[in-house]
Structure 1
Amino acid sequence: MATTRTSPIHHREADVIIVGGGFMGAASAFFLRQRGLSVILLERDMIGQYASGVNFGNVRRQGRYLCQLDLANRSRALWSRLPELIDDDLEFLPSGHMRVCYQQAQIAELEAYAAAPEARELELQVLSGKALRERFPYLGADVVGGSYAPHDGHANPRLAAPAFARAARRAGADVLEGVEVSQVEKTGSGFRVQTEGQGEFRSAQLLITAGAWGDRLSAQFGEPVPLVPRGPQMSVTEPLPYRLKTVIGVYTQLEEEVVYFRQIPRGNIIIGGCHRATPDMVSRRVSFEPQAMVLQMQQMRRVIPQLGNINIIRSWSGIESYLPDSLPVMGPSSQVEGLYYAFGFCGAGFQLGPGVGEVMAELLSTGQTSTHIDSFHIRRFAAAEQRERVAV
């Protein structure tokens, strides 16, 4: 974990300033240093405190929009190399991921997804009938089919951003916590970042990875986005015999049915889904709401009836950022040269973290990337706003 700086900083410079110390910011700092750029990473609170450290921990590619799979595949390759890259495996287990459904019509949808050219690296296996029951005999009667991803898995989100931040610092990045950014602006030679009581920072390039606060900074450059903060609802059970080694999630259009759970080798089952709370963005806090636990336990019993009598020992939430099309903002600004974004990952950014860091480092250092991210460009919101004006 980076050490909080309390002494005043009057003027510091680097090739790149990163605003936001979650998984995306920390990973970007690390990979930028691998490419030889000097980096200052500014985090208002603690590294990985918000969405990055409180999410479910899914290292999942299946179920993503097909346009995300190029990035997800690049990231998955990095997950396998974590020990050599950052000297930490983040408790990553390629345990497999099972996406189950309750309706026969959804089996065809899972098959179509598995057959898409973009999904070929996932090696998905769609199961139903006898094959489903033989492979997963513990699934409840309501489950009629599912898609198994053998290379997906899970990791510990509490470890991810701090581990990348430590690796970035060892590589020479300046990682600062407790630094409140008040204003960001373009200057003739680059960017000026003004902070509350910590002085001024300057850089040639600026990367905004501020999660649920990213829209406030993009708006300062004339690029507002319709970002909405939400609080994931997470809980964990008492330790149980370690038998559920595959991550399970429900494929459904009904939010109250969307439960996902995984068991860690210590025996605890981590549960998420079914409900999201509304954060207080002033206090930067959000509550776990009781109805979430009721729904989660009901839906878990529906998926695996044997899990009907277990004890919850802890629950929590965090602050995630969502956009209307469920895609992130990632790539260069459409207005300002040298400005880049990577935020708004809509509750599905954890698996992408290493890949986002490597892609953003490639983009900032070379001006281009070999990975498809054009679908995530911030210009799509300006285009949508223009279409609305024309329609009126």
Structure 2
Amino acid sequence: MMRPYADKVESDPSVPAAVDIVVIGGGIVGCSAAFWAAEQGHRVALIEKGRIAGEQSSRNWGWVRRMGRAVAEYPLGIESLRIWDTLAQRTGHDTGFCRTGVVYTAQTDAEMAWIETVRRDAQTFGLAAQSLTPAQLSDRFEGASLTARAGLYTEDDGRAEPALAAPALARGARTKGATVLTGCAVRSIETKAGTVSAVITERGRIACNAVIVAGGAWSRLFLGNLGIDFPQLRVRGSAMRTAPIKGGPAHALGNGAFGIRPRLDGGYTIAQRGRSKVQITPDSFRLFGKYLGSLRENRGEISLTVDRSMWDGLVTPRHWQPDEISPFEKCRVLDPEPQEAALAKAMRAVQAAFPALKQATITERWGGIIDVTPDAVPVIDPVDEIPGLVIASGFSGHGFGIGPAAGQLAGELATGVPTLVDPTPFRLDRFGGAMLKAAE
């Protein structure tokens, strides 16, 4: 078993004394925010406790889609696709982005109903989504043995390479003047008269006017130490990739059993679609009331799993002082084991659908932790109680494709300029009050 590779970004050697904006988190959203802010001329420090794209930003499927999202995310998806087109030129580095189309297929009544909902949503937002009959699916996927009653195709959607994209943005931000620090945890935030004034890192203090928390699955823990109740649970996913092989699909494809997309190297990234493995942790009990509606609505798509995350949650401190070693220094990268049975099942389904892939060689398998909000829509929002603090987390497995626009939106909120989309659907207060009533 091998872990997913991400293009390595070296850390800058020194910590700046002062910047305008500190971005916490070196995933696709944090790197996008840092790149946009640096491009606008702001002094930026991008700070990552581990390595750039070390967690879910290098472990996702690599789809760049507008279709099939929560309605609130469509504007971000549309803007992100436009931004993806420009990133290689603007950063000076390849992201692997190309518009090769995305196809969903449906076999069961529930899948048929979902595809019809997606088709209507796409139409509402002016997207060219083409319905496909079984005969048209056969023509599009020549040599395949797809069992489907219908399909939906968006020609302009595409894919990018998780191993390249966030590193390209981080390097682009550095070229625009940003400082990039890896292997450096932010322990806490300082305020002056209630407003953000600095961050305290394990390597020293950095004065700043604004902080963007794009910490992925770590955001709840970091924000909780500041007294902010950010509802977030963790879902464990798995994926794998093949060596280069001919005869597979030219489009990213998702059905009830698997997701597959062509890779830049000629191989495929494959994962199981369907039931998500929600990790049972102490936060599962603390947040049960907020997630109850989602559990009821998605009970057929969710399974609960107990693994070492329960123990980790019990022994990880929830509060610490700025001069103490933080949990982020004790665990730099979340690196769960892949779910071998789920991957084997997905591979069998892929090979049944695409006989040419029966000869495929699996070169990597990996696990990843997805951070999920109660409504599976991210929070991209300033914290009213701490002016200068912006949250950009909770992307619920949808963050890679919309990362460029989400990062820009976070940067716009941090700098007070007009936003590229309406940020209202991403407000934190839709889950209730932001600040904890008392320290726990």
2:219 corresponds to 1:214: yes
Query: 1:13: Cα distance to partner?
Result: 1.4
2:232 corresponds to 1:264: no
Q: Any idea what SS the aligned residue of 2:253 has?
A: strand
2:75 corresponds to 1:70: yes
Q: Any idea what SS the aligned residue of 1:36 has?
A: coil
Residues 44 and 179 in structure 2, CA contact (< 8 A), matched pair in contact too: yes
Q: Any idea what SS the aligned residue of 2:381 has?
A: strand
What is the aligned partner in structure 2 of residue 190 from structure 1? 196
2:360 corresponds to 1:310: yes
Residues 129 and 145 in structure 1, CA contact (< 8 A), matched pair in contact too: yes
What is the aligned partner in structure 2 of residue 41 from structure 1? 46
Query: 1:137: Cα distance to partner?
Result: 4.5
**Residue identity opposite 1:184 in structure 2:** I
**Residue identity opposite 1:271 in structure 2:** I
For residues 29-70 of structure 1, the C-alpha deviation after alignment (integer angstroms, 9 at most, x for no partner) is 111112221111111111111111121111111110111010
Give TM-score, length-normalised by structure 2: 0.79
What is the aligned partner in structure 1 of residue 138 from structure 2? 133
Residues 184 and 220 in structure 1, CA contact (< 8 A), matched pair in contact too: no
Q: Separation in 2 of the partners of 1:84 and 1:5?
A: 23
Which residue, 303, 326, 329 being the options, matches 2:376?
326
What aligned pairs does 1:48-197 form with structure 2 within 5 A after superposition?
48-104=53-109, 106-116=111-121, 119-140=124-145, 142-188=147-193, 190-196=196-202
The 1:44–1:102 alpha-carbon spacing in structure 2 relative to 1, beyond 3 Å, is same
Query: When the two structures are aligned, how many residues end up with a matched partner?
Result: 377
Q: Separation in 1 of the partners of 2:20 and 2:116?
A: 47
What aligned pairs does 1:288-307 form with structure 2 within 5 A after superposition?
288-307=338-357
Query: 1:307: Cα distance to partner?
Result: 3.6
Moved more, 100-109 or 326-335: 100-109
Query: 1:296: Cα distance to partner?
Result: 1.1
- 5+ residue gaps, structure 1, are 387-392
2:400 corresponds to 1:350: yes
The 1:107–1:127 alpha-carbon spacing in structure 2 relative to 1, beyond 3 Å, is farther
Q: Any idea what SS the aligned residue of 2:368 has?
A: coil
Query: 1:207: Cα distance to partner?
Result: 0.8
Q: Separation in 2 of the partners of 1:323 and 1:146?
A: 29
What is the aligned partner in structure 1 of residue 424 from structure 2? 374
The 1:219–1:384 alpha-carbon spacing in structure 2 relative to 1, beyond 3 Å, is closer
Moved more, 308-317 or 92-101: 308-317
Q: Any idea what SS the aligned residue of 2:261 has?
A: strand
Q: Any idea what SS the aligned residue of 2:226 has?
A: coil
The 1:384–1:86 alpha-carbon spacing in structure 2 relative to 1, beyond 3 Å, is closer
Q: Separation in 1 of the partners of 2:157 and 2:49?
A: 32
Query: 1:273: Cα distance to partner?
Result: 2.7
Residues 247 and 356 in structure 2, CA contact (< 8 A), matched pair in contact too: no
The 1:124–1:172 alpha-carbon spacing in structure 2 relative to 1, beyond 3 Å, is same
What aligned pairs does 1:207-286 form with structure 2 within 5 A after superposition?
207-241=212-246, 243-250=248-255, 252=256, 257=257, 259-274=258-273, 276=277, 278=279, 280=309, 283=331, 284-286=334-336
Residues 262 and 269 in structure 2, CA contact (< 8 A), matched pair in contact too: yes
**Percent of paired sites with the same residue:** 28
Q: Any idea what SS the aligned residue of 1:4 has?
A: coil
Residues 212 and 392 in structure 2, CA contact (< 8 A), matched pair in contact too: yes
What is the aligned partner in structure 1 of residue 33 from structure 2? 28
Q: Separation in 2 of the partners of 1:24 and 1:378?
A: 17
**Residue identity opposite 2:263 in structure 1:** I
2:396 corresponds to 1:363: no
Residues 86 and 167 in structure 1, CA contact (< 8 A), matched pair in contact too: yes
Residues 16 and 204 in structure 1, CA contact (< 8 A), matched pair in contact too: yes
Q: Any idea what SS the aligned residue of 1:3 has?
A: coil
**Residue identity opposite 2:400 in structure 1:** F
Residues 359 and 369 in structure 1, CA contact (< 8 A), matched pair in contact too: yes
**Residue identity opposite 1:263 in structure 2:** P
Q: Separation in 2 of the partners of 1:230 and 1:117?
A: 27
The 1:120–1:302 alpha-carbon spacing in structure 2 relative to 1, beyond 3 Å, is farther
Q: Separation in 1 of the partners of 2:435 and 2:345?
A: 37
Give TM-score, length-normalised by structure 1: 0.88
Query: 1:195: Cα distance to partner?
Result: 2.1
